[in-house]
Structure 1
Amino acid sequence: MNGEDSPPEIGFMRAVFDSLGAGVFVIDLAGRLTTANPRARRLLGRSGKNLLGSDMHDLLHRGPDGGEVPRSRCPMLTVLDDGQPNEGSEEFLLRGDGSLLPIIWAATPLRHDGATEGAVIVFHDFSLHRDAAQQTAAHLAALEGLTARLSMVAEVSTVLISTMDMSDMLNRLAGLLVPDMGDWAAVDVRTPGQTGELQRVAVHALGDHAAARSLTGPLPPLPESSRSALARALRSAQPVVLDADALAERPEAPLDVAHQELFERLGGTSAVVVPLHTRRQVFGALTVARTAAGSSYSEAELLVLADLARRAGLVMEGAELFEQQRHVAETMQRQLLTPLPQVGNLRMAARYLPAQSAAEIGGDWYDSFLLGDGVLTMVIGDVVGHDLKAAAHMAEVRNMLRALAWDRTEPPSLIMRRLDEAMTHTSDAPMATCVFSRIEGPEEGPWRLHWVNAGHPPPLLITADGHTRFLEEGHGPLLGLSSALHMGLGWPNAHADLPARSTLLLYTDGLVESRSRDIEAGLVTLRRHAAALARRDIEEFLDELLARIGPSGDDVALLALRIPPAGAEDEPPRQHAHSPAAANRSAPGSRVEDTPVRDTSEPELSAPDGPPADDAA
């Protein structure tokens, strides 16, 4: 990370250190002077060369009569021994011209990683004050002011990283600046995808909230010839300071008029326009203004505002990159979600819901294809990771599985072992979970499921009368783990009958697990809702299941199979269940047909041999 895009506390703290109205020393554990601010050098009439590296006590500390003070009696050095802060008002320092400077002082241990590495000594010319109370008050005011600014920087930094909603983030940023940094604040940003278009997304003002809200909305485009403060800040990526004379200038371009309207409605005698930017681009500008006569902004305040605006720019750039990554990953995944095959009276449906956050989009996929022997497969999987690379690895693993399986009649366990070895030796894909299954049987039934499970949530079998069972057999290690670690583990083949009119559901963990719900609770919820929806059409079954569970956070893939009634004759395929549009549907209730009425009944979870749970009777 370069210096511009790293946290810029160094420049800010240096400005504060240099501009403090008090002398400041930093000494090491031996009492040697390592740092002295300009105020300290002026008070003592000494140069930095004369001070730095010298022993503070020997060079400077004197008694009221000018005599040397025994080192053991130096109260300023006690912090190095006991690690406790100390202060006083009866000590004297030796100036460069030989005169004595009475001081009021405070010494604080300088700690790093839990150990004392020196001390900071803050002092004032005690002769400039009539009594110790006045001096103490001034000292505390300076420290409180510094603490307040640092607290505001910390609070704003927390706001900037607390949400990916840029409008909300910028609105909260403007609110935090009022009244500490100004009587009002406004944020203007460039509209994504529209060159020159601007939007005022936030205005906060003391007292006049209605006027502030009325000033938000679209702005005129940025004119090429404008020399207004807003235009200069957007083009140069440098803060622009406005005094009373600059604010009195007549605006020309429509954008200048819109910016001037802020001052006409909310007032202002001084202002600062700082760009929201990074090294790569400018996203907008922050305007902060004061309305009191004679008010102005100090250099330290300009540094703080510029720092906060740049931090906001970094967050905005990160959000933009996340959104780009999300779009690429989601597009890649959708291109791989091929139309589902049609085999006799078997009915299939699938859903894919992308993650709500770009940071969560990952390697979920489903697949179904015919093998060389005419057998139908069903696959669900999830590659470890949540980024664009995970989506690319998902495509790699999916295609390897297709290539290894399509012309083989061997059991699923051998296909899974070949895939595990291929991932380990020919791919850089990380670990993955997967269920690979074969659906076997004559066209008139009965049908039978043959499968293996590589660390994935178990398939769910729902009978027509609402009985449910998780198919927990066939479980083995994650893909990419056994062969890599030479563990010799395998995937046992599992078999289960698929009753007539039953539903087989494969899903990824985003359906049953989230930050607010553990997977065990999610599995119970899935089983309950699936039982209640057992008699719904397969498409309605998936839509209503997603609507009831409402998964959030991670991406979700679902693949469902409906077994026909026993002895059912072959029927023409229903196109809506197998079209690319249905296979790639990204949200429940997006059917071309009328959205199904949601049944709100919630039957109790039924055990495999318990009473039926049926809300469609």
Structure 2
Amino acid sequence: MANGVGPGAEGAERRWAAEPEFWQRIAEQLDTALTVIDTAGRIVAVNRATELLLARPAATMLGADVHELLHRGPDGGRIPRDQCLLLQALARGTAARGEGDCYLRGDGGLTAVSWSASPLTDDGLPRGIALLFSDIAADRGARRERAAYTSALEDLTERLTLVAEITDVLGQTLETDEALARLGRLLVPRLADWAAVDLLVGSGQVHRVAVTGPAGRDASREDWRGPVPRTGNAALTQPARVLNGGEPMLQGQKPEPEPAPEQEQEQEEQEQEQEQERKETEKAGQGQEEVREGGCARRDSPLTAVHDDFLRSVGATSVLTVPLGAQRQVTGALTLVRTNPAHPFDAADLEVVGDIGRRVGLVIDNARRFGRQRAVAEAMQRNLLAPLPQPGPLRLAARYQPAPAGSQVGGDWYDAFELKDGAVALVIGDVVGHDLTAAAGMAQLHGILRSLAWDRAEPPGAVVDRLDDAMQAVTTVSMATLVLARVEGPRTGPWALRWTSAGHPPPLLLTPDGGARYLEAGQGLLLGARLGAGGRRPDATEPLPPGSTLLLYTDGLVEVPGSDLDTGLGRLRRNALALVHEPLDTLCDEVLARMPAGSTDDIALLALRLPAP
């Protein structure tokens, strides 16, 4: 052992000295500047990145003292060795980092660097240090570029997420008011400080239907909402121009970067072309206003006054307005407002909000179509629900309650009529489906069933069998449920109920002594579900005590989303029993009023009360 170094250490020393090209090969594989330094502080290897960064050939650095050659103060002066953190780390054999040190380049200039040093060992013995360093200015620029890219990516993701969320949320409702309320809550404050929606209604009238602002601010001022007259001669404001088929508009936009000299002429030509197009558009618009004064072209002065007051009141600094719907089918205008001068809208915002406007316009158009269809279906149903007879001492009452706003009207119906043999027919039914087709199918079954029941004095099951046989051939109904009952007996009583059920919820019989039970007999298959003409539907018979009440109803009265059928039947039984001594009209009204919230179906209810003894 020589100089206190054992055979293993001596072998490591020889390997270190014999393989400088090994370290050079490692250094050359890195794109970052790398310098390998031995325990004496001499440079053993450098890579190409080091040569480029320091403007020094490798030959001028190899073997030189790293501190003496490179390390300088900010003024270019030498730094004492005992103040060099790199040399301290080398002496201790530990890792170290630094930022802001100046290295002397071969051209005499200084480069501020950030550096990281890691000790090198061989067989457990320190053999030097690997120094990685980079230009601080370049690093900061790269970090800024990465931060800007990351921020832009996050912003894009947020915008796309917002568009997707709006599409999903608005697709869950077919009510215009609810859709616009949801839209406002999604846009404010995520994308804007204020949002306003103007819709075209009636004969070209403009109605400001929604204003959404920050929490705690009055977003429902009457002078910001409501119908706006068409007359006036002032210049068109942003919403008016958009409603007249104009392009999306942006005011208070973030300044664009200065164009390069070679782009200025091209940009100027484009601006001239756009200005010419704008003038031609305005001229054409003025002509249209003169021709279509009674149409929807004049949306200027009053809307301008309302809109300008709105912008002043909220302190708008940047305003963006886009059409709702496609350019050829504009249903309204969406205006977004920001009040922070440091955060104006930009072209990317305009593109995103334009996409939102197209989607919202489609939702509004669908909602309006749905509303018209729903109104037609409801009117059809109400007109086909004939007035109830009042046969002798028997009393009848009925109610039809359309589905809540946002749901489609179905094919529920009731009917009652006297037959040739003196019996009273009671019908409650529900055509499968929730649209205008279901309502039309209900009308078909309603008429056919009346004819079949009147034609022959036969049990209810036989009548419904004939209806089932005819349904596929002469109606558009694929499936339906119903109860057909006959109230039989002399005019002064006693009476009995004979009925059949085609897959319908059972009638509820209430007696004056406090009894309440469902008549579950007489159940057969749904209309449209028979497997052939061989079978017959069952009939059931039940005596009707004096003073009793019979309720026929559709499933909307007992089925509520989130609750099972047994729960609904139990609730109806309890409510009806509590009301059994009330007048028949009161009982019907209260049974409907006690329905839990959340029902999405329409309801038909038919009630019969027998005279008390």
Q: TM-score, normalised by structure 1?
A: 0.65
Change in CA separation of 1:432 and 1:265 when aligned onto 2, cut-off 3 Å: same
C-alpha deviations, 1:209-232, integer Å up to 9, x for none? 247757632253234755322211
1:300 equivalent to 2:342? Answer no
Q: Equivalent residue for 1:492? A: 538
Instruction: Structure 2: give runs of 5+ residues left out of the alignment.
Output: 1-47, 50-135, 256-274, 276-298
Match of 1:174 among 177, 184, 192: 184
Larger mean CA deviation between 381-390 and 339-348 belongs to 339-348
Q: Indicate the structure (1 or 2) with the bigger Cα radius of gyration.
A: 2
Per the alignment, residue 610 of structure 2 pairs with: 563
The code of the aligned residue for 1:449 comes to: L
User: Corresponding residue for 2:157?
Assistant: 147
* Worse overlay, 460-469 or 129-138: 129-138
Match of 1:313 among 361, 367, 382: 361
> CA shift at 1:282, angstroms?
2.7
Unpaired segments of 5 or more residues in structure 1?
1-62, 65-125, 567-617
1:201 counterpart = 2:210: yes
Q: CA RMSD in A?
A: 3.0
Question: 373, 398, 401: which is aligned to 2:421?
Answer: 373
- After superposition, give the CA deviation of every residue in 1:193-251 in whole Å (9 maximum; x if it has no partner): 4642422521325x8724775763225323475532221101115312234899xxxx9
- How many residue pairs align between the two structures? 436
State the match for 2:251 in structure 1.
242
SS at match of 1:394: helix
Q: 1:180 to 1:563 in 2, by over 3 A?
A: closer
| Cα distance between partner residues in 2 of 1:128 and 1:340 | 89
Residues of 2 paired with 1:188 and 1:323: CA distance?
A: 19
Cα 1:278/1:374, change in 2 over 3 Å: farther
Equivalent residue, structure 1, for 2:557: 511
The answer (yes or no) to whether the contact 1:501–1:565 under 8 Å persists in 2 is yes
Quick one: percent identity of the two aligned structures? Answer: 47
Moved more, 143-152 or 329-338: 143-152
* CA distance, structure 2, for counterparts of residue 293 and residue 444 of structure 1: 85
Q: How far does residue 394 in structure 1 lie from its aligned partner after superposition?
A: 0.3
Question: 1:52 aligns to what?
Answer: none
Matched, 1:520 2:566: yes
Alignment partners' CA distance in 1, 2:534 and 2:405? 38
Distance change >3 Å, CA 446–CA 284, structure 1 → 2: same
The 8 Å contact of residues 326 and 388 in structure 1, kept in 2 or not, is answered as yes
Offset at residue 499 of structure 1 (A): 0.8
1:221 aligns with 2:222: no
Decide whether aligned partners of structure 1 residues 198 and 357 sit closer, same or farther in structure 2, where only a CA change above 3 A counts: closer
- Please state how far the C-alpha of 1:293 moved relative to its aligned partner: 4.6
CA distance in 1, matches of 2:454, 2:370: 36
Contact 2:245–2:328 under 8 Å retained in 1 = no
> Does structure 1 retain, via aligned residues, the 8 Å contact 2:325–2:331?
yes
Q: Which of 434, 452, 459 is the equivalent residue of 1:386? A: 434
- Is the counterpart of residue 464 in structure 1 residue 512 in structure 2? yes
Q: Which of the residues 536, 540, 550 maps onto 2:586? A: 540
| CA distance, structure 2, for counterparts of residue 478 and residue 208 of structure 1 | 55
Mapping 1:321-340, distance limit 5 Å: 321-340=369-388
Match of residue 464, structure 2, among 416, 427, 449 = 416
Please show how residues 12-411 of structure 1 align to structure 2 within 5 Å: 133-190=143-200, 192-193=201-202, 195-205=204-214, 209-210=217-218, 213=221, 216-223=224-231, 226-236=235-245, 238-243=247-252, 253-278=301-326, 281-293=329-341, 297-357=345-405, 359-411=407-459
Q: What amino acid does structure 2 have at the position aligned with 1:357?
A: A
The letter of the residue matching 1:334 is: R
Deviations 1:20-51 (A, max 9, x none): xxxxxxxxxxxxxxxxxxxxxxxxxxxxxxxx
SS at match of 1:377: strand
* Matched AA of 2:157: T
Distance 1:224 1:281 in 2: 24
Q: CA deviation at 1:555?
A: 0.6
Stretch of structure 1 that moved more, 322-331 or 228-237: 228-237
Paired position in structure 1 for 2:476: 428
Q: Which amino acid aligns with 1:204?
A: G
Cα distance in 2 between the residues matched to 1:357 and 1:146: 36
Q: Distance in 2 between matches of 1:554 and 1:314?
A: 25
Instruction: Say if 1:306 and 1:373 are closer, same or farther in 2 by CA, change over 3 A.
Output: same
Opposite residue 208 of structure 2, the aligned amino acid is Q
Equivalents in 1 of 2:219, 2:437: separation in Å? Answer: 47
Distance 1:213 1:343 in 2: 56
Cα distance in 2, alignment partners of residues 400 and 332 from structure 1: 17
1:236 counterpart SS class? coil
Q: Secondary structure at the match of 1:369?
A: strand
